[in-house]
Each structure stands twice: as structure tokens, then as C-alpha cells.
Amino acid sequence: MHLGCGILNELLSTEDLLLYLNHESQTIVVENQKKHINPKKLKKIIFGSIVILAVLHLVFMALPMISKDFTKDVFGYRYVIAISKDQEIDEDLVGEVVRLKTIDKEALSPGDRVLVFGLYGNSYYWEVEVLDNDTTDQEVEATFDDVIRNRYTYDEIEGIYTDQANIVGVFYYTASTPRGYITMIILHALIIYILHYVMFKDKDKILKDQKNEK
């Protein structure tokens, strides 16, 4: 190291040496500046990423409204409102959000519970119990109240009753309805607005003060 400095001193004059050292210090400063990330730029990147994720989430949640079988085709299940079998037909019936799962209908056996849409002429899914599965005619015999028996084709069976939806499933189903989707858009917009205010409030205040000074 000392040898190198001695040779350098012999080759360079004092003025040249000062210029060399000044150039090296400037190079180090520039390199350090490149490594340092601008906080404002970092905030913009984070905020932009959040906005992109929010938009993608809204697009994903809109797909079930465009095609009701979207989640069933992709994940093998979807959430619907169904009237469970354990209720009396002559009393007030209560629907609940449940998970409907796709099945091999030829593999249905007595005791399985499946969902059929529009039983008794309404617009809900009904849980019925399979009594017999005729794979030749592709029909099942099933009952809701353990008294009346009906035959349903495979096409009328939407899927098998899996379980009652948890809070995530209820939220997902609600967001898949037009009113719920609009509510979700408002909620996303509110969250983004709050994040923008928290992350950039100082910058907005400075710009406002500069505008008032003019």
C-alpha cells in the first residue's frame, strides 16, 4: 500500500494528486447516492402496488357475477344460499350461505345430501337427501322432508352440500352480488384514500402551503 502511494507521488504532482483524490471522493459519493433509495419514490412504489392489488382483487371478485360457475370451475366449489334439509316445510324456512362442491354424480349413494335449485318454485337452492341413484337414466330420487319423493336429473343437481360457510365465505358470497360488489368498491376506494392521506399528507400540505404563498 505504501509502495503504491510512493510511486503515485513520484508520477503525480501535488495539484494532480489533489485532483485525483477529489475525483475519487466524488465517485464514492455518487455510488452511495445510487445505493440510497429515495423515501418518496419508495412510498409511490408501495402505494402503486397496493392500488394494483386492489384493482386485481375487484376484477377477480367480479368474475363470479359474469359467470356463476367461475369459482366452481376453478376451485371446484362456490358459495350459494341454500335452505338446509333439517327444517319443517310448513314453518318459516331459513337460508344460509353454504359451500357447494362439484361431484361425480354417478358416485352418489343413499344418504348423500345434494343441492337442487328452485325446489317448490322459488329462487333458492334446496338441500335434499339422495334415496336412490339411477346411473342408467342419470337420475336420482331424493327428498327434502322425508315424506315427498322427487326425481331429479343429473343436470338439475348443482353439487353436493359441503359445509356452512365461514366469515370469509360469507364475505365472498356477499361481494359476488351486485349490491355487495358496489359496497366493496366503495370500501376499497375508502381504504386507498386513507392510505394516500397517511402516506402523502406531508407532501400535500407543502404543496398547499406553496400554493397559498403564491
What pLDDT digit, counting tens, does each position of 139-167 carry?
A: 999 999 888 899 999 989 988 877 787 78
How, if at all, do strands 77-83 and 125-134 pair? parallel
8-40 burial string, b = 16+ CB within 10 Å, else e? Answer: eeeeeeeeeeeeeeeeeeeeeeeeeeeeeeeee
What does the block give as the cell for 87?
Answer: 327444517
- No. of H helices and E strands in the chain? 6, 7
Q: Which three three-digit cell numbers place residue 59?
A: 376484477
pTM above threshold 0.85: no
Confidence band (pLDDT; 50, 70, 90) for 201?
A: confident
Name the average pLDDT for the chain. Answer: 76
Q: Is the pLDDT of residue 78 over 50?
A: yes
Average pLDDT over residues 29-49: 68
Nearest in space to 95 (alpha carbons), one of 132, 125, 118, 65: 125
- List, in order, residues 6 or more apart from 138 with CB less than 8 Å away: 105, 106, 153, 154
C-alpha cell at 152: 331429479
| 127 has a pLDDT exceeding 80 | yes
Distance between CA atoms of 193 and 198, rounded to whole angstroms?
9
